[in-house]
Structure 1
Amino acid sequence: MSRDLHTTAGKIEDLRARIEEAVHAGSARAVEKQHAKGKHTARERIEMLVDEDSFTEIDEFARHRSTQFGMEKNRPYGDGVVIGTATVDGRPIALYSQDFTIMGGSLGEVHAEKIVKIAEFALKSGIPLIGINDSGGARIQEGVASLAGYGKIFRLNTRSSGVIPQISLILGPCAGGSAYSPALTDFTVMVNETSHMFITGPDVIKTVTGEEVGMEELGGARTHNTRTGNSHYLAESEADAIDYVKALLSYLPSNNMDSAPHLPPTESLEKKASDIALDSLIPDSPNQPYDMKVLIQALVDEGEFLEVHALYAPNIVVGFARIEGESIGIIANQPSQLAGTLDINSSEKAARFLRFCDAFNIPILTLVDVPGFLPGTEQEWDGIIRRGAKLLYAYAEASVPLVTLITRKAYGGAFIVMGSKYLGSDINFAWPSAEIAVMGAQGAVNILYRKELADAKDPGAKRAELVDEYNESLANPYLAAERGTIDTVIEPSQSRAYITKAFRTLKTKRDTLPARKHGNIPL
């Protein structure tokens, strides 16, 4: 039906037709193929993420300008990415969603310009940016123009870091240069057996190196959640991934000058069953493990804890919770994994999380049960000195409220690194079961009493005697408390009350840092 563009009614009708064309720019067959893979379209994903009727689209009529390789004959509206603003739980966000049904979601000049435009808007508006990635990579037909787009996106990701939260959803392929944008954002979420992210794919690797590797093993969601640490959550479906992002946003401020959402306090500080149960959490044997998450759930509101990086470096636990309705970040050694030792991966995992929280004014609770750094040639040669120093740097740099609780072991350099007074922690508690020393009793006795043990008629009995002596004199919290390294030794069942009061007191903390352009973290 022809429209009379000489009349206002005709022009309105023309606008409606163009919007309809933009909304359905991908062919029906392409949409069908997307659904057949268990994937939603770009617009369906936006609907799943944002509040109903809150999405306002921008640049829906943008089209590429390329004339190479017959591209002038295929100029769909939107150019393969949907951008705009919306609200999630009533709070404003900016977002982009790549549309695989249009030219495989490939990134060309205009496609990149749209992402840059919404990222700039998010930055100047002080609102989180959510990127939904589902792209075949750079649009080859546009040559260097598409590569330039990547550079502009990376620069904005970097400029926005520490100013607004940036979250990446990988809901399909994310290959080549496009993989660097999620790496520059704060959190990345991938879907099992759907998401793939790599710099060079299996075919290129085979051609260049002769190695044979499958897509899933090389860059699948499980690989990035368990081996590389590039992903922070392994979702079982797109709906699961989007729900996680919504939960994550609920703990975060909109920008670094804003406060995180506050919920009304729901619990009193009267002792309850979960508090009393903490008195028996620590096994009598110092070598017997326990689950640190039991303690976390007992300390936080409603026992709700949103873990981050759960499958990567499980010997340290990080994530978000609330105490008296206020968002906090938690960093905790996990005695049930590698005895809670610090290694390269756990140090980098905790350091990155801590620096995010510090950038966005989220207080940190550190729970310590650490026997030391993981020994071994592999750790030493892979750079545990430099890479472990990242966690030390992150604590020493942090200016947010820092509260630390030592539950059991706190040995040597690892004790210093894990939120100690010496690195600037504000309030430090310890349980009576805490063992704060240079090293554990067994190792110390071997060094201190080597001659006595060699000369003893009954080395086993002598060792036991010396171990008991060491534990009584050094491996306890009281020597540290005498020196002010520990502020208070508390009963485990008192922990929730003491920690809650500590964070109340620290709400008005101010810490002035030396003037500088930026520090030089040991990357």
Structure 2
Amino acid sequence: MTEATRTETFALDATALQPGDGARARLSRLLDPRSFVELGSARQHRASGFGLERQRPDGDGVVAGTGAVEGRSVGVYAQDRRVLGGSLGEAHADKVARCIEQAARGGVPVIGINDSGGARIQEGVAALDGYGRVFTANVAASGRVPQIALLLGPCAGGATYSPALMDFTIMSDEASMFLTGPRVVKAVTGEDVDARSLGGPEVHGERSGSAHFVVDDDEQAFAVTRELLGYLPDSAWARPTEAPVEDPPEVDLREVVPEDGRSPYDVRHLIRGVVDGGRFLEVQAHWAQNLVIGFSRIDGRTVGIVANQARWLAGVLDGTAAEKGARFVRFCDAFGIPLVVAVDVPGFLPGTTQEHGGVIRKGAKLLHAFTSATVPRVSVVLRKAFGGAYIVMNSRSIGADAVLAWPGAELAVMGAEGAADIVFRRAIVEEPERRDELIAGYRRDAMDVDVAARRGSVDEVIAPEDTRSALVAILRSLRGARQPGFVHDNMPQ
């Protein structure tokens, strides 16, 4: 393709382009008009054998360069499945790695569009070394610039690890991701499975957690990318973008959260009643649904939200939810995003499945993430915070800057019934009719929020309708708590 033809293709009206039109067409729909500058357009592979010497397309199956999304510079690359199957060889890998490295050097986000059959088998170990080069670039950029992977087609074998090393993965309905494809699975295990059942968007959005966002098509993937970038800074050395302050929609938070601690409700309604404009971008919405995480703004500034979800498993923490929360907290800490935590947790999920599945190890990840975080951290206890989960969910004891609580909230080792049965075991055996009285006494003397406030575990008891104003005031006071800069990477959980 000549340079003139290449420019003409890129300049086509985006509305006339359809999914599958290739890498440049996709970039034209993602990036600001005429912002893209391609680098390495004439690059060709140098391999010979197996017919490769007769196939040396310009660009080697990937388009890479720099562009802009809503005026902000980004490093970007897009694989083209129509060229050598989008397979990765030495030259292809070098272009991708250099794109990531240049973005990290310049302090701008990286966006990668993945649509590849995997390693170029004909290049042998050179293709594998190429993946190693890409992974090294991903790791070196981790925690320094945001990295977003868009999976808009197949992603197999070694190709899966680059998205896994990036901060966020957006997966379209046509995408799939697996280490070994259906034919290999059939040959090795005898299991008959298709690509979607093995590694489709439902699998990674709901079961593995490898997809942070699942969308219908390319256009939704690009829209989510723009929205996500809007909450993020360009790098660890920059502050997140600010927006005009907006009041949330009028929501009676007392009606959103039932007083009965066992009644379910959707914590997302609470979040939208507190944040600017009621806008909340939920991350990993269909995986580990007992914990809600995502981005919003309070007082015009980006915040990361972590909240127990009472409508799913009563909001208990389990190993999967702990892993989900831990990486999100680490990402926010890496990029200077304050954390707001809504706490309504009855404890950790008990049972052999959890214990054998490593809930202690996984719970420790969330504990470590919160405890080590240096960004401002504010918790609001809505109804209850029991046991080890109370500690893990950003308690004062692990460094929260402020812990607020609503009237009637309870903080304790466990629920009143279980605690009373242990503390007053002998009295209940001797006078079983006193059990309700003893439970009420324990709840009053040991669990009441005023008890926690008197000992400093809760900084202030506030009315639900004052939640937003309290958060605004506290977060404003903490704006100078940490200057931008590299803190740590964002290692996969």
Confirm or deny a common fold (TM above 0.5). yes
Q: 1:285 and 1:464 mapped to 2: Cα distance?
A: 17
Q: 1:223 and 1:463 mapped to 2: Cα distance?
A: 47
Q: Is 1:308 the counterpart of 2:283 in the alignment?
A: yes
Q: 2:360 and 2:492 mapped to 1: Cα distance?
A: 10
Q: Is 1:349 the counterpart of 2:341 in the alignment?
A: no
Q: 2:407 and 2:182 mapped to 1: Cα distance?
A: 54
AA matched with 2:406: W
Q: 2:334 aligns with which of 359, 371, 390?
A: 359
What secondary structure, in the 3-state scheme, does the structure 2 residue paired with 1:479 have? Answer: helix
Q: Is 1:479 the counterpart of 2:451 in the alignment?
A: yes
Q: Is 1:201 the counterpart of 2:181 in the alignment?
A: yes
* 1:17 counterpart residue number: 2
Indicate if the aligned counterparts of 1:409 and 1:435 stay in contact, CA closer than 8 A.
Answer: yes
* 2:232 counterpart residue number: 252
Question: Which of structures 1 and 2 has the larger relative contact order (alpha carbons within 8 angstroms, sep 6+)?
Answer: 2
* 1:297 counterpart residue number: 272
Q: 1:378 aligns with which of 348, 353, 364?
A: 353
Q: 1:375 and 1:41 mapped to 2: Cα distance?
A: 50
Indicate if the aligned counterparts of 1:19 and 1:60 stay in contact, CA closer than 8 A.
Answer: no
Q: 1:436 aligns with which of 402, 411, 417?
A: 411
Q: 1:231 aligns with which of 184, 201, 211?
A: 211
Using a 3 Å threshold, how does the CA distance of structure 1 residues 121 and 47 change in structure 2: closer, same or farther?
same
Structure 1 stretches lacking a partner, 5+ long: 1-15, 26-33
Q: Is 1:261 the counterpart of 2:261 in the alignment?
A: no
AA matched with 1:292: V
What secondary structure, in the 3-state scheme, does the structure 2 residue paired with 1:508 have? Answer: coil
Q: Which moved more, 1:68-77 or 1:403-412?
A: 68-77
Indicate if the aligned counterparts of 1:232 and 1:308 stay in contact, CA closer than 8 A.
Answer: yes
What secondary structure, in the 3-state scheme, does the structure 2 residue paired with 1:48 have? Answer: helix
Indicate if the aligned counterparts of 2:327 and 2:492 stay in contact, CA closer than 8 A.
Answer: no
Q: 1:267 and 1:512 mapped to 2: Cα distance?
A: 27
Indicate if the aligned counterparts of 1:42 and 1:82 stay in contact, CA closer than 8 A.
Answer: yes
Q: 2:84 aligns with which of 69, 78, 103?
A: 103
AA matched with 1:341: V
- Percent of aligned pairs sharing the same letter: 47
* 1:170 counterpart residue number: 151
What secondary structure, in the 3-state scheme, does the structure 2 residue paired with 1:68 have? Answer: coil
Q: 2:126 and 2:484 mapped to 1: Cα distance?
A: 44
AA matched with 2:209: G
Q: 2:112 and 2:4 mapped to 1: Cα distance?
A: 23
What is the CA distance between 1:172 and its match in structure 2?
Answer: 0.4
Using a 3 Å threshold, how does the CA distance of structure 1 residues 190 and 120 change in structure 2: closer, same or farther?
same
What is the CA distance between 1:73 and its match in structure 2?
Answer: 1.3
* 1:147 counterpart residue number: 128
Q: 1:281 and 1:317 mapped to 2: Cα distance?
A: 16
Q: 2:460 and 2:204 mapped to 1: Cα distance?
A: 41
What secondary structure, in the 3-state scheme, does the structure 1 residue paired with 2:50 have? Answer: helix
What is the CA distance between 1:503 and its match in structure 2?
Answer: 0.3
Using a 3 Å threshold, how does the CA distance of structure 1 residues 521 and 451 change in structure 2: closer, same or farther?
farther
Q: Give the number of aligned pairs.
A: 486
1:340-387 alpha-carbon deviations (Å, 9 max, x no partner): 101011000000000000000000000000000000101101111111
Indicate if the aligned counterparts of 2:291 and 2:306 stay in contact, CA closer than 8 A.
Answer: yes
What is the CA distance between 1:522 and its match in structure 2?
Answer: 12
Q: 1:54 and 1:176 mapped to 2: Cα distance?
A: 33
What secondary structure, in the 3-state scheme, does the structure 2 residue paired with 1:69 have? Answer: coil
Structure 2 stretches lacking a partner, 5+ long: 11-16
* 2:103 counterpart residue number: 122
Larger radius of gyration: 1
- RMSD in angstroms over aligned alpha carbons? 2.3
Using a 3 Å threshold, how does the CA distance of structure 1 residues 320 and 21 change in structure 2: closer, same or farther?
closer
Q: 1:306 and 1:42 mapped to 2: Cα distance?
A: 27
What secondary structure, in the 3-state scheme, does the structure 1 residue paired with 2:419 have? Answer: helix
TM-score (norm 2): 0.94
TM-score (norm 1): 0.89
AA matched with 1:73: R
